[in-house]
Amino acid sequence: MNATILGPIAALVIGGAAGFMAGKMAAPEPESDNSAATDARPATRASASSSSSVPNGPASRGTRVKSSAEAMALPGQNNRLQALMDFYAGLDPSQFEEEAKKLEDLPWSERIMVGYLLFARWGEEDPTAAMAYTKTMGMAGMFVKGTVMQSWAAKYPQDAAKYFTDNPNEFRMGGMMGGRGGRGASTAGVIATEWAREDSAGAMVWAQTLEGRDQRDAVRGIFEQAAKEDPGKAAGMLSSITDDEARKDAQNTIAREWGNKDWDAARAWIAGLPADEQADATARALRGLADQDPKAAAAQISVVPEGEERTEAMESIARQWGREDPSAAAAWVMSNGTEEAQKESIGRVVSSWVGQDAGAALKFVNEQPEGDVRDRAASSYVISNQGGDIQANLKLAETIGDERSRSRAIGMTAVGWMRQDKEAATQYLETTESLSQESKERIQRWASGGGHGRGGRRGR
């Protein structure tokens, strides 16, 4: 591990924070049924020792420390991450359990970072021992299992796959951070993705032994990797998939990656798919094109029929184009698609626009006619402009027609205002006619730390 992976590790730590914090890192008595992990440990350790080419000593690029606590006392987050990686790289695997016990003494925020790095390293060096230890951690163990499996699969995917297949129930209640669908299924997807980096055919044979969501996620992982390397070759692998839903998932994955690399070639391939599957695949390919050239993707939106696929494609294009040219992206959104598609897309543009030119974004919002689209734009502006003028934000938020969106926008602004002037913000909440009494009470609880309420966040 070195400095080149500091960014990805930091992102993974942040992404997994909510799940990791959900479990208390107490160490209750181990579960009785851990014989599989215990029995497998010697063989796997021997395999790892003989096949690993990674040296035990660290290739330090930062300050050398003698403990995780010392690393966390360093100034600068990158320095801490690098010092922790170097420290764990220098430990013998027999020392990892003692380090894991020390996590209980750390503050939550530090426990998340240190725990991820520790179990990632432990998963590389002695994965079965790490998996056995997760069983002593209560609910928190369900979250770090995913970290262990990810590291294990990155070095020895076949061994990780065998463990997953032999112990499926261990992954039903927890697993990969931020994964889609069932967490156990996401673990299967990560294993398959790592395996496909070195042997996609072997990974596919394993994936076909799985069932249901496990199989679909594993197949998706294989095709995500294969399509990035060669979408045409990946397309030739589709015939090996027997599950219809898994095949469609893989097909759409190829379409997106191919659209990213070569839009015309992707369209030609999609033309040969069953007629009822072409719209979805085309939308995915268009989203891939948007990752590279959102303006070009916007010009092709008419190739996707009206419907959910087109709405989602518009949203992807708006998000990407809004980062480059929010004014042009907003004009495109307002002249294309249904009202529903415009509503789902315009918020993406406005949120980016606020960071680039808040004045222009506000002018755009104020020019829009009343309705759902303007509501979404106004809400996005207020939520993205929390560092801006409080009174201007409240004035705009009060014009939002949808009660739930209006309450959320006003609430976020009022809570921020309370940190600066609690008396004035409280008086505003008590006297405004733009909120129901229920909303006022919910915001007050939110401000006092009693809960965030339901908010207005979409779940798509």
Is 457 domain-assigned?
yes
Percentage of the chain surpassing pLDDT 70?
81
CA distances from 103 to 18, 24, 377, 456 (A): 17, 11, 44, 35
Burial classification of residue 4, based on how many CB atoms lie within 10 Å of its CB (0-12 exposed, 13-18 middle, 19 or more buried): exposed
Residue 375 has pLDDT above 80, yes or no: yes
Give the pLDDT confidence score for residue 416 in this predicted structure: 92
Prediction pTM value: 0.70
**158, HSE (Cβ side, Cα atoms, 13 Å):** 10
Residue 47 has pLDDT above 80, yes or no: no
Is 301 domain-assigned?
no
Is 353 domain-assigned?
no
Mean pLDDT of 137-155: 88
Domains identified in the chain, total number: 1
**Per residue in 240-276, pLDDT tens?**
888 888 889 899 999 999 999 999 999 999 999 999 9
Is 395 domain-assigned?
yes
**Per residue in 314-356, pLDDT tens?**
999 999 999 999 999 999 999 998 999 999 999 999 999 999 9
Mean pLDDT of 78-97: 92
Give the pLDDT confidence score for residue 182 in this predicted structure: 38
Judge whether 149 and 99 are in contact, CB under 8 Å.
Answer: no
Give the pLDDT confidence score for residue 5 in this predicted structure: 41
Residue 395 structural domain:
386-460
Is 95 domain-assigned?
no
Mean pLDDT of 8-31: 37
Is 217 domain-assigned?
no
Is 394 domain-assigned?
yes
Q: How many residues does the chain have?
A: 460
Compute the C-alpha angle 367/369/371, nearest 5°. 135
Q: How far apart are CA 244 and CA 274, in angstroms?
A: 13
Judge whether 380 and 412 are in contact, CB under 8 Å.
Answer: no
Least confident of 15-24, 263-272, 403-412: 15-24
Q: Residue 39's CB: how many other CB atoms inside 10 A?
A: 10
φ/ψ (deg, to 5) at 84:
-65, -45
Give the pLDDT confidence score for residue 142 in this predicted structure: 79
Is 419 domain-assigned?
yes
Q: How far apart are CA 59 and CA 349, in angstroms?
A: 44
Q: What crossing angle do the helices spanning 390-397 and 403-420 adopt, rounded to 10°?
A: 160
Judge whether 190 and 153 are in contact, CB under 8 Å.
Answer: yes
Residue 7 has pLDDT above 80, yes or no: no
Residue 458 has pLDDT above 50, yes or no: no
Residue 395 has pLDDT above 80, yes or no: yes
Give the pLDDT confidence score for residue 62 in this predicted structure: 58
Give the pLDDT confidence score for residue 173 in this predicted structure: 57
Residue 56 banded pLDDT, cuts 50, 70, 90:
very low
